[in-house]
């Protein structure tokens, strides 16, 4: 069965430093996608970055990059030059295609606190 694991309930980082949020996944499918979403204290879910299982290059979006290690089944999010506005919950998610449908599950999340 598919599974997403985020082992860090909370992380903190100094402003302007880089931080890595861990995500491991489990699937027997060859075709899947991995996402990261940000949830600030206001509650909305904000899409950050996507990595397809067949993508050879790690995805990048501005200060966000996804460190995709397929053999280890990990999809860690790297935030460079942290800002105070990066303080939020971060969720890793996996999408796969099964039974004719796209399905998507989330990890439990990591709460990031950026300190000045």
Partner 1 sequence: NAGVTQTPKFRVLKTGQSMTLLCAQDMNHEYMYWYRQDPGMGLRLIHYSVGEGTTAKGEVPDGYNVSRLKKQNFLLGLESAAPSQTSVYFCASSPLGTRDTGELFFGEGSRLTVL
Which positions ≥6 away from 28 have C-beta within 8 Å?
none
The one among 56, 85, 102, 116 contacting partner 1 by CB under 8 A:
102
Measured in whole angstroms, the distance separating CA 72 from the mean position of its chain's CA atoms is: 15
Q: Are 64 and 51 in contact (CB under 8 A)?
A: no
User: What is d(CA 4, CA 109) in angstroms, rounded to the nearest whole number?
Assistant: 10
CA separation for the pair 51, 57 (Å, rounded): 9
Closest to partner 1 by CB, 12 vs 97, is 97
In whole angstroms, the minimum distance from the beta carbon of 68 to partner 1 comes to: 14
Site stretch for partner 1 (CB under 8 A), options 17-25, 60-68, 76-84, 101-109: 101-109
Residues numbered 33 to 92 that lie near partner 1 (CB under 8 A) are 33, 35, 43-45, 47, 50, 52, 91
By rule CB under 8 A, what string of x and - marks binding of each residue 21-40 to partner 1? ------------x-x-----
């Amino acid at each position: 069965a598919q599974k997403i694991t985020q082992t860090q309930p909370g992380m903190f980082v100094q402003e302007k430093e880089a931080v890595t949020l861990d995500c491991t996944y489990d699937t027997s499918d060859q075709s899947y996608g991995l996402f990261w979403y940000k949830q600030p204290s206001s509650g909305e879910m904000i899409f950050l970055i996507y990595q397809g299982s067949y993508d050879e290059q790690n995805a990048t979006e501005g200060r966000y990059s996804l460190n995709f290690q397929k053999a280890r089944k990990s999809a860690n999010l790297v935030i460079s030059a942290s800002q105070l506005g990066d303080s939020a919950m971060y969720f890793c998610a996996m999408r796969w295609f099964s039974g004719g449908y796209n399905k998507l599950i989330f990890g439990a999340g990591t709460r990031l606190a950026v300190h000045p």
